[in-house]
């Protein structure tokens, strides 16, 4: 077993992380997630460690899997006020023509899930995404009210400068896998970030988070038809809902009929 730390422009990474980061520069993230041969080599040289306890063998050991808490139906919240809402639907008194129609989150943002999100986002270990999404049971996926809507999944985009530095968009990697399980298409060519913002994790108050995300998304020129279409905006974690609601607002202003939020954790 080989393991060592290397310093890169983005900080200190393990050998697995550094190689993964370099590979992202020359191939699409989906190749890394789905490419069994490449991932197999990384597994041999740099064994996976559990996101919860660090145990070698996989990103989620059996013991840590047992501690993961799923969001129960009676824990669904309105994406605007973050209070309980039946099926996650936006409260009538919170709703406006530009807000999300509702929100579905799969996990509580506890120790193991938090470790997975941070490992994926900040340590560039994108090949854990498939294992992470596989933890979502079919019963939770059925809470996403797609029905007969031919909704398109839009992962929350990174600013171009952050995408270049990170090498991939964790929301796009996770969102593509979730969309696959929902049998929906993914569109990454509709929304973009108009400005580089402070990470939401670095803003403490709800007001600061809302201000940080104000008018941060816009639609790309030559965009596909939006009017009367249905969309799901996807992100890894939701706290105040500011990011998802701003994305929904950009789509609704362009004529989208229905926009629902989906996240891995809340």
Q: Provide the CATH number for the domain around residue 111.
A: 3.40.50
State which residues form the domain around 203: 69-265
Is residue 24 one of the residues assigned to a domain? no
Distance CA(178)–CA(262), nearest Å, equals 9
Residue 57 lies in a domain: no
Asked if the structure places residue 44 within a domain, the reply is: no
**Looking at the domain assignment, is residue 196 inside a domain?**
yes
Give domain status of residue 102, yes or no. Answer: yes
Structure confidence at residue 7 (pLDDT): 31
29 within domain boundaries: no
Measured CA to CA, the distance from residue 143 to residue 262 in angstroms comes to: 10
49 domain-assigned: no
- Structural contact between residues 39 and 32, judged by C-beta atoms closer than 8 angstroms: yes
Structure tokens at 123: 């340590």
Per-residue pLDDT of the chain (266 residues; tens, 9 = 90+): 333 333 333 333 455 555 555 555 555 555 444 445 555 666 656 688 899 999 998 899 999 999 999 999 999 999 999 999 999 999 999 999 999 999 999 999 999 999 999 988 876 666 789 999 999 999 999 999 998 778 999 999 998 877 777 778 899 999 999 999 999 999 999 999 987 665 655 556 665 555 666 678 999 887 678 999 999 999 999 999 999 999 999 999 999 999 999 999 99
Structure tokens at 31: 């190749």
Query: Which backbone phi and psi does 74 adopt, to 5 degrees?
Result: -80, 5
How many distinct structural domains can be found in the chain? 1
pLDDT at 120: 87
């Amino acid at each position: 077993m080989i393991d060592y730390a290397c310093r890169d422009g983005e900080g200190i990474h393990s050998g697995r992380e550094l190689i993964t980061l370099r590979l992202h520069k020359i191939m699409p993230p989906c190749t890394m997630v789905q490419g069994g041969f490449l991932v197999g080599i990384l597994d041999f040289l740099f064994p996976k460690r559990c996101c919860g306890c660090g145990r070698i063998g996989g990103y989620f050991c059996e013991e840590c899997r047992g501690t993961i808490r799923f969001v129960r139906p009676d824990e669904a919240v309105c994406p605007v006020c973050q209070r309980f809402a039946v099926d996650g639907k936006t409260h009538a008194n919170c709703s406006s023509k530009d807000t999300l129609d509702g929100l579905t989150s799969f996990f509580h943002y506890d120790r193991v899930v938090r470790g997975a999100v941070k490992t994926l986002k900040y340590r560039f270990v994108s090949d854990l995404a498939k294992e992470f999404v596989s933890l979502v049971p079919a019963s939770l996926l059925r809470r996403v009210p797609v029905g007969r809507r031919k909704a398109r999944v839009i992962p929350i985009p990174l600013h171009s400068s952050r995408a270049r530095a990170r090498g991939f968009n964790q929301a796009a990697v996770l969102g593509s896998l979730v969309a696959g399980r929902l049998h929906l298409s993914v569109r990454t060519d509709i929304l973009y970030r108009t400005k580089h913002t402070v990470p939401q994790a670095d803003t403490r108050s709800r007001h600061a988070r809302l201000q940080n995300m104000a008018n941060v998304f816009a639609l790309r020129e030559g965009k596909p038809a939006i009017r009367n279409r249905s969309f799901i905006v996807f992100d890894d974690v939701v706290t105040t809902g500011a990011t998802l609601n701003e994305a929904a607002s950009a789509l609704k202003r362009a004529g989208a009929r229905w926009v629902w939020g989906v996240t891995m954790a809340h």
